[in-house]
Homo-oligomer: A and B are copies of this chain.
Amino acid sequence: MKSPYSAKIVQPDISLSICGYSKVLEIVSNKWTALVVYAMEDGVIRYGEIRRRIEGISKKMLTQTLRQLERNGLVKRVITPSVPPIVEYSLTRLGESLLGPMRVLNQWTKENYSLVEQARASYDQAYYEE
């Protein structure tokens, strides 16, 4: 016989590998990924230019981030083997399709982030001062 609590459980489980929330986040939630996507919103852009536009990103992390995005099919890389070489990046169609959802998140931030900061301040005050 089951306990009264188990009867309340509608869905038996939520799994990391199944939840859609988690799957997108797995793709865009690295430290620099969102910024790199943001830098490519306007169209084709060169490696060095991305680097200049994003404050504080190292070559290593930029390369790593771009490779991941490329692997996930969100970014296209075109190499012109001149000397010195030219490497241009742009969003694929799939990458562009992510811009809509990203902008929705961005909008949420604009409207609500100050509330988050307030909440943090009052939480911290309650626990570390008083």
Contact = CB atoms under 8 A, between A and B. Distances in A.
Contacts of A111: 97
Interface string A94-124: 1001101110111111111101101110011
A71 B120 contact: yes
Nearest to A12: B53
Contact-residue size bin, chain A (C-beta under 8 Å from the other chain): 35 or more
A78 interface: no
A59 to B, nearest CB: 16
Q: Which of A12, A16, A39 has the most CB of B within 10 A?
A: A16
B120 A9 contact: no
Given A20-B109, A116-B27, A55 B9 contact: no
Interface of A: 5-6, 8-16, 19-25, 27-29, 31, 34-35, 37-39, 42, 46, 48-49, 52-56, 70-74, 94, 97-98, 100-102, 104-113, 115-116, 118-120, 123-124
24 contacts: A5-B46, A6-B52, A8-B49, A9-B49, A9-B53, A14-B35, A14-B39, A14-B53, A16-B31, A20-B110, A21-B109, A23-B113, A24-B106, A25-B28, A25-B34, A25-B105, A70-B123, A72-B119, A73-B119, A94-B115, A94-B116, A97-B108, A97-B111, A101-B104
